[in-house]
């Protein structure tokens, strides 16, 4: 009997003891930086002479750790080892698999500040955002463990047949290639890994190149619980080399990927090809990008809408797939809402998040991202009216700092209003009516999250039906879905809508077997 599931509470950093504990965790993980980490395949550690550094984006000179540049040959070896481990892991009793996952949750809870502190350093998260990421990671572990107990035997849903005993069991698929992004380096990675493992699959895990450090630490959590060798393998290296080889491998049974649209599409195509020796059609679980709209009509509360827009656009520097990067405001309150949004955003603090909980926005993740966002800020000056920010912040540390940036009066079909920038850039679009605003909201190729601020009941009911996004919010920000409460995933080019943190998610990692025995 397990205690009831609940979301993991966040840390209150206004309490001096919490702030002190977090500073101690930052000191601890910083003191452990500079190490070289191996690949881990079948429990064996392989250190390679060819390495890459994971850096602190607030201080690019600070190398946090070094990681092996794995190759396609390592991917081949890892998939083979994972296949060998699958032969026994698939028959491990469900309650035993569940216990590994719950023990990992307990271990992460005990060391939660350490995990969060690593994200402050490696991913440039504010304390609050890092803490939220860790809470979500713990939620995924607790939630999927319970879902597996509920799902694995579905025989009670069958109708009886006289003279036969019938069963419906969900059994695992095989080896999963788990490929994660850097923006939720703890929660998303652990969500995909734990779902795969608890369902009885074995995993080859490749973290994003920007966040392999936290990726290693979260694998350690499972290894430290005594999970058998080969069940969870850790592979680092360039996505287009190692990740691609994992996807193409005939021994890979499924791919669980979260990342950009372009890479997701590429994986979808590659996974569809049947390679020599392959005995199944691969399953692809792909969660991708967004250009998430926040619609405000003339009946909405101005303050409420402005606060929601700012929080959705700028927390974690706008680097969330759920970020509300487009605000669509009807004419009547366009100026009032825009002015208030600019006013609130202009007061947000930007800096090195390791300095303290008062830093609201840290750096963007790396040089490539910094360049891309700068490029879009240039595009923005041609396509809209620059209302705030627009230029990077120069600091002695050379960190990748970009201030909250807002463009107003952009056309609904402009690039800054339709393409995912993945940085602290908000585009505001004017609309003549709430109906037109909803049409604009639905007009991009994405369909991940969306928010509608309105006090008109009929419009809200209409938007429930026609606002075409996987996660729809009324009168609140469009980020911050809770595991088990708001299952998360998007439509169209935002992915396969597998709804992480929802009651159906684990079914993606399993296949159903019907068994009938004549009595």
- Considering beta carbons, is residue 259 or 353 the nearer one to ligand NAD? 259
For residue 471 the two structure tokens come to: 């996660």
Helix (H) or strand (E) holding 129: helix 127-151
What part of residues 166-205 is at the interface with ligand NAD (CB under 6 A)? 179-184, 188
* Nearest distance, CB of residue 486 and ligand NAD, angstroms: 12
Q: What is the spatial distance between Cα 144 and Cα 461, in angstroms, rounded to a whole number?
A: 32
Helix (H) or strand (E) holding 223: helix 212-224
* Nearest distance, CB of residue 246 and ligand NAD, angstroms: 7
Per CB under 6 A, the list member of 243, 353, 363, 447 interacting with ligand NAD is 243
Identify the active-site residue in 62, 209, 287, 383. 287
Q: For residue 478, indicate whether it is catalytic.
A: no
Contact present, 463 and 454 (Cβ < 8 Å): yes
* Nearest distance, CB of residue 167 and ligand NAD, angstroms: 34
Q: 3-state secondary structure string, 277-335?
A: CCCCCCEEEEECCCCCEEEECCCCCHHHHHHHHHHHHHHHHHCCCCCCCEEEEEHHHHH
What part of residues 395-454 is at the interface with ligand NAD (CB under 6 A)? 420, 422, 448
Does 471 participate in binding ligand NAD (rule CB under 6 A)?
A: no
Does 321 participate in binding ligand NAD (rule CB under 6 A)?
A: yes
* Nearest distance, CB of residue 401 and ligand NAD, angstroms: 19
Does 496 participate in binding ligand NAD (rule CB under 6 A)?
A: no
For residue 189 the two structure tokens come to: 């990675």
* Nearest distance, CB of residue 422 and ligand NAD, angstroms: 5
What part of residues 269-288 is at the interface with ligand NAD (CB under 6 A)? 287-288
Does 58 participate in binding ligand NAD (rule CB under 6 A)?
A: no
Per CB under 6 A, the list member of 74, 112, 113, 206 interacting with ligand NAD is 206
CA 273 → CA 247, 248, 278, 391, distances in Å? 10, 8, 10, 44
* Nearest distance, CB of residue 107 and ligand NAD, angstroms: 24
Contact present, 318 and 420 (Cβ < 8 Å): no
* Nearest distance, CB of residue 39 and ligand NAD, angstroms: 15
Counting Cβ atoms within 10 Å, is residue 287 exposed (0-12), middle (13-18) or buried (19+)? Answer: buried
- Considering beta carbons, is residue 27 or 269 the nearer one to ligand NAD? 269
Q: What is the spatial distance between Cα 179 and Cα 158, in angstroms, rounded to a whole number?
A: 36
Per CB under 6 A, the list member of 7, 51, 225, 266 interacting with ligand NAD is 266
Per CB under 6 A, the list member of 124, 174, 200, 289 interacting with ligand NAD is 289
Q: What is the spatial distance between Cα 356 and Cα 350, in angstroms, rounded to a whole number?
A: 11
Give one DSSP letter per residue of 409-442, joined into a string: EE-TTSHHHHS---SSEEEEEEESSHHHHHHHHT
- Which among 73-81, 93-101, 239-247, 453-461 is the span making contact with ligand NAD, rule CB under 6 A? 239-247
Helix, coil or strand: residue 34: coil
Per CB under 6 A, the list member of 12, 27, 164, 240 interacting with ligand NAD is 240
Identify the active-site residue in 321, 383, 420, 478. 321
Judged by CB under 6 A, the number of residues near ligand NAD is: 32
Rg (CA), the chain: 23
For the annotated catalytic residues, the residue numbers are 287, 321
Residues engaged in binding ligand NAD (CB under 6 A) = 179-184, 188, 206, 208-209, 239-240, 243-244, 247, 258-260, 263, 266-267, 287-290, 321, 420, 422, 448, 490, 494-495
């Amino acid at each position: 009997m397990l205690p009831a599931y609940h979301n993991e509470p966040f840390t209150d950093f206004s309490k001096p003891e919490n702030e002190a504990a977090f500073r101690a965790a930052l000191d601890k993980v910083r003191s452990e930086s500079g190490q070289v980490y191996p690949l881990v395949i079948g429990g064996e550690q392989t250190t390679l002479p060819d390495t890459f550094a994971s850096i602190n984006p607030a201080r690019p000179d600070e190398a946090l750790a070094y990681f092996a540049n794995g190759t396609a040959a390592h991917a081949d070896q890892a998939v083979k080892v994972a296949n060998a481990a699958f032969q026994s892991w698939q028959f491990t009793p469900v309650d035993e698999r569940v216990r590994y996952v719950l023990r990992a949750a307990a271990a992460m809870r005990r060391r939660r500040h350490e995990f969060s502190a690593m994200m402050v350093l490696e991913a440039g998260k504010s304390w609050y955002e890092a803490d939220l990421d860790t809470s979500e990671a713990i939620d995924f572990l607790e939630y999927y463990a319970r879902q597996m107990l509920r799902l694995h035997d579905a025989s009670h849903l069958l109708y009886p047949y006289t003279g036969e005993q019938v069963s419906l069991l969900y059994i695992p698929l095989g080896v999963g290639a788990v490929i994660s992004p850097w923006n939720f380096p703890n929660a998303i990675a652990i969500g995909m890994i734990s779902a795969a493992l608890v369902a009885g699959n074995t995993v080859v895990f490749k973290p994003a190149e920007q966040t392999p450090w936290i990726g290693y630490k979260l694998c350690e959590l499972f290894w430290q619980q005594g999970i058998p060798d080969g069940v969870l393998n850790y592979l680092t290296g360039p996505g287009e080399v190692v990740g691609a080889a994992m996807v193409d491998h005939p021994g890979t049974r499924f791919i669980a990927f979260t990342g950009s649209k372009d890479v997701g599409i590429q994986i979808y195509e590659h996974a569809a090809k049947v390679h020599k020796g392959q005995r199944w059609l691969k399953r692809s679980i792909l969660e991708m990008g967004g250009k998430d709209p926040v619609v405000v009509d003339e009946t909405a509360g101005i303050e409420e809408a402005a606060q929601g827009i700012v929080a959705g656009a700028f927390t974690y520097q706008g680097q969330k797939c759920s970020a509300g990067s487009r605000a669509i405001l009807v004419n009547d309150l366009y100026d009032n809402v825009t002015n208030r949004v600019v006013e609130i955003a202009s007061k947000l603090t930007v800096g090195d998040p390791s300095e303290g909980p008062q830093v609201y926005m840290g750096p963007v993740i790396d040089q490539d991202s910094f360049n891309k966002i700068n490029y879009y800020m240039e595009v923005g000056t041609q396509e809209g009216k620059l209302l705030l920010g627009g230029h990077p912040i120069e600091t002695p540390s050379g960190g990748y700092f970009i201030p909250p940036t807002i463009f107003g009066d952009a056309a609904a079909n402009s690039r800054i209003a339709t393409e995912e920038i993945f940085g602290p850039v908000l585009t505001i679009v004017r609309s003549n009516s709430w109906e037109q605003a909803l049409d604009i909201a639905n007009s991009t190729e994405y369909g991940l999250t969306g928010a509608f601020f309105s006090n008109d009941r009929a419009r809200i009911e209409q938007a429930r039906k026609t606002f075409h996004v996987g996660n729809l919010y009324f009168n609140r920000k469009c980020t911050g879905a809770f595991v088990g409460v708001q299952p998360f995933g998007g439509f169209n080019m935002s992915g396969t809508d597998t709804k992480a943190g929802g009651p159906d998610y684990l079914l993606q990692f399993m296949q159903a077997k019907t068994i009938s025995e004549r009595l």
